[in-house]
Amino acid sequence: MTSPPRVVVVTGVSRYLGARVAARLAADSRVDRVVGLDPHEPPTALRELLADVELIRADARAASGALAGLGAEAIVHLAVTSAPDPQHGRAAMKEQNVIGTMQLLAAAQAAPRLRKLVVRSSTAAYGASFRDPGVFTEDTEPRAVPRGSFARDILDIEGYVRGFRRRRPEVAATVLRFAPFISSTADTTLTRYFAQPVVPTVLGRDARLQFVHVDDALEILHRSIVEEHPGTFNVAGTGILALSQAIRRAGRISVPLPEGTLSTLAGVARNVGIGQIGFDQIDLFVHGRVVDTTRLVAEFGFTPRTTAEAFDDFIKGHANGSSITADRLAAAEKAILDGIRRVRAGAASGGDRH
């Protein structure tokens, strides 16, 4: 049972994470066949990565036929988007996240040779409430249905996985709750947010944030496919950064706005098409989100780099938008100190002359 699956189906290969996972599986000699399932054509940038991956252009609705015909032994469900696509909007996002998962899992349930299911989830599954504990473990239940669309989708997706686990208990189902992805090149709502020279924040709130480096997320995904790790796991870098601290480290300037104003502005910006800050992000900036990764480290024997290290990698890749860098601050410190010393030395020698 613990041998790596020979045929793996990966959904969402038209996007960065899916393409990287599929490419890495294709490069693994233990896996015979990797099939990418996606309704969209992968962009040219990802084409090269997917050279060894069979591509099937079909949405989840057509998946049932494909899964049975391929004899899939493992399914990796990565077609979960965290923000609405500007072209297709929220309806398409929900269609893909919720309906897509439902149909994929229905198909998976009927796949006879299936023994492994890996689903991308998010730490957004913990919701956002003022009564939340400071650190979430995998067993923490959300206190209320969150208002962010992605968070609600995640709750639905995990609900379907729970149903699937009940109906196919012999299939090892792994749910990975990822903290927001970050790296020098990752392009997500949050990385675009931190890349701006001036960053809006919520007045009077300083959320505790955690990130996971994309490379570590890929490692965990790969291990959960070729090894056997059933269960639900938080995937995040240990330690935290306060939002203000992250902005300072990135050398950006923060503009605190009252929560209502920020929501309104974000809504206007979304409608104009220049930004994707939604309730998901605003809730994150108000409540913060910190998870415990003890279970992940014990089960996978792999420790993702810390949140601070992952964020440092992001800073390296986005140096050109920063205004208050550590070097400039150090130079300013030295200039002020020298100035004070000079003035005091001048005053002292002036005093001697009298």
Binding interface with another protein (CB under 8 A): 130-135, 137, 140, 202-206, 208, 239-242, 244-249, 259, 288, 290, 292, 324, 326, 329-330, 332-333, 336-337, 340-341, 344, 348
Task: Give the nearest distance from C-beta 304 to another protein in angstroms.
Answer: 15
Distance CA 21, CA 120 (A): 12
Q: Which residue has the tokens 């890349």?
A: 195
Residue (79 or 241) nearer to another protein, CB: 241
Residue (27 or 331) nearer to another protein, CB: 331
Residue (196 or 244) nearer to another protein, CB: 244
Amino acid at 259: E
Task: Give the nearest distance from C-beta 337 to another protein in angstroms.
Answer: 6
Residue (58 or 203) nearer to another protein, CB: 203
Residue (135 or 195) nearer to another protein, CB: 135
Distance CA 174, CA 176 (A): 6
Task: Give the nearest distance from C-beta 129 to another protein in angstroms.
Answer: 9
Distance CA 239, CA 212 (A): 11
In 153-280, which ranges are E strands? Answer: 172-178, 181-182, 198-202, 208-209, 212-213, 231-235, 241-242, 253-257
Count CB-CB contacts under 10 A for residue 129. Answer: 13
- Rounded to the nearest 5 degrees, what angle is found at the Cα of 14, between the Cα atoms of 157 and 159? 5
Span between the terminal Cα atoms of the chain, in Å: 93
Q: Indicate the SS3 state at residue 279.
A: helix
Task: Give the nearest distance from C-beta 242 to another protein in angstroms.
Answer: 5
Task: Give the nearest distance from C-beta 118 to another protein in angstroms.
Answer: 27
Q: Which residue has the tokens 């309730």?
A: 279
Task: Give the nearest distance from C-beta 93 to another protein in angstroms.
Answer: 30
Long-range Cβ contacts of 139-146 (<8 Å, 24+ apart):
146/279, 146/280, 146/283
Residue (15 or 249) nearer to another protein, CB: 249
In 22-160, which ranges are E strands? Answer: 33-37, 54-56, 74-77, 116-122
Residue (108 or 182) nearer to another protein, CB: 182
Task: Give the nearest distance from C-beta 49 to another protein in angstroms.
Answer: 34
